[in-house]
């Protein structure tokens, strides 16, 4: 009996984005390699979709990429999308190839879309090669591409959130090892937590690398603040495990974490994001933060259900984006046989 395995002709992956509750910034290598870091974050039901298919040679191009722009090139070196280029270099698949990506939400919005794209693309490329791949391998390969190869000034939490999904306490060791502990909540679980979460689109898109570059440069001055933020991640985890319905105390922790984080760099907050956050608090939000590195994107708020209408009224004109808990990480959406 033949062991021949027909390789797929096309693969589509679906990879969740994430929201971070606490500890963001302590996953930067410049910090955790000295002190260790930790974050509490959760995957959400907003996704990056990546399709990779074997391209017809009739098109006379080795690579066609379709994202916010279209690329038609013949060599890896010509590909402008740096994550796509280096993922293709790491997981070699014989061209010609067509790659397309789509997102449920705008990019550069603080929800980890770049890392979700890297994880989803790597998963698709491995599958085209006929290879099974673990969530841990996907996360580490995405970290390697973004941090080591491209030198982006980012942390290591987004790649793990995208690959594993769920609500997780992720710790970053001084020797670069990463420990991921799934957090399973009692009662209504994480779905109950998300009944108190609101996301508002500020309309401000920003370059996270610029914000994070300033954070990295300031670490020599902000170490004590980051240590407190690392401890807040553990406090948030313990509070949710012990009393997930204590939304007020959880909100106070988020608020304290945001006040600490906005002191890490001048580009994290602005007069406009401060104004919007203050309006939300006056409307009944018990805590919150700007999602991701800061500077714009989504305003993440903890709001008891009875205060939702008041918060919407306070932030009238801003779009409220419904969001729910996603227990699953990157996965295959479709595989077309060869």
pLDDT at 5: 64
DSSP state letters, 99-139: EEEEESS-SSSSS-HHHHHHHHHHHHHHHHTT----HHHHH
pLDDT at 206: 66
Q: Cα 268–179–166 angle (5° rounding)?
A: 70
- How far are the Cα atoms of 69, 75, 143, 213 from residue 80, in angstroms, in the given order? 10, 11, 19, 21
Tokens describing residue 87? 């993922």
Tokens describing residue 268? 């994290």
E strands within the chain? 10-22, 37-54, 63-66, 70-73, 97-103, 167-172, 178-182, 197-201, 287-290, 298-302, 319-321, 331-336
**Domains of the chain, with CATH numbers?**
10-184+327-336 (3.30.230.10), 189-321 (3.30.70.890)
pLDDT at 296: 75
Closest CA to 15 of 333, 335, 336: 333
Closest CA to 27 of 281, 290, 292, 210: 292
pLDDT at 203: 83
Closest CA to 23 of 161, 175, 140, 146: 161
Rounded CA separation 83/80 (Å):
9
Furthest CA-CA distance within the chain: 71
pTM recorded for the entire structure:
0.94
Rounded CA separation 192/162 (Å):
21
Q: β-strand 37-54 against 97-103: which pairing, if any?
A: antiparallel
Tokens describing residue 224? 């004590």
Query: By the 8 A CB rule, do 315 and 279 touch?
Result: yes
Q: From first to last of the 338 residues of the chain, give the pLDDT tens digit.
A: 334 468 999 999 999 999 999 999 999 999 999 999 999 999 999 999 999 999 998 989 999 999 999 999 999 999 999 999 999 999 999 999 999 999 999 887 889 999 999 999 999 999 999 999 999 999 999 999 999 999 999 999 999 999 999 999 999 999 999 999 999 998 778 999 999 999 999 887 766 777 778 888 888 889 999 999 999 999 999 999 998 888 999 999 999 999 998 888 877 778 888 999 999 999 999 999 988 766 678 999 999 999 999 999 999 989 999 999 999 999 999 999 98
């Amino acid at each position: 009996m033949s062991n021949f395995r027909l390789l797929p002709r096309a693969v589509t992956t679906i990879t969740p984005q994430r929201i971070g509750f606490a500890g963001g910034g302590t996953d930067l290598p410049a910090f955790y390699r000295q002190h260790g870091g930790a974050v509490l974050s959760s995957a959400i039901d907003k996704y990056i979709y990546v399709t990779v298919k074997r391209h017809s040679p009739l098109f006379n191009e080795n690579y066609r990429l379709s994202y916010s722009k279209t690329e038609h090139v013949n060599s890896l070196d010509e590909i402008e999308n740096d994550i796509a280029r280096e993922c293709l270099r790491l997981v070699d698949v014989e061209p010609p190839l067509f790659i397309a990506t789509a997102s449920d939400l705008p990019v550069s919005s603080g929800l980890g879309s770049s890392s979700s794209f890297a994880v989803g693309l790597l998963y698709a490329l491995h599958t085209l090669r006929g290879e099974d791949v673990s969530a841990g391998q996907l996360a580490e390969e995405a970290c390697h591409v973004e941090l080591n190869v491209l030198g982006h000034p980012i942390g290591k939490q987004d790649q793990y959130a995208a690959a594993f999904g769920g609500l997780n306490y992720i710790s970053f060791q001084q020797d670069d090892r990463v420990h991921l502990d799934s957090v399973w909540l009692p009662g209504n679980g994480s779905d109950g937590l998300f009944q108190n979460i609101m996301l508002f689109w500020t309309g401000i898109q920003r370059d996270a690398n610029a914000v994070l570059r300033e954070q990295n440069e300031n670490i020599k001055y902000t170490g004590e603040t980051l240590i407190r933020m690392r401890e807040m991640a553990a406090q948030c985890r313990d509070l949710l495990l012990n009393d997930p319905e204590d939304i007020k105390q959880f909100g106070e922790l988020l608020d304290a974490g945001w006040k600490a984080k906005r002191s890490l760099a001048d580009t994290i907050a602005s007069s406009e994001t401060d104004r919007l956050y203050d309006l939300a608090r006056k409307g009944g939000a018990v805590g919150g933060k700007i999602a991701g590195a800061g500077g714009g994107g989504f305003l993440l708020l903890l709001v008891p259900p009875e205060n939702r209408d008041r918060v919407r009224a306070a932030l009238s004109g801003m779009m409220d984006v419904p969001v729910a808990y996603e227990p699953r990480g990157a996965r295959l959406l479709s595989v077309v046989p060869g």
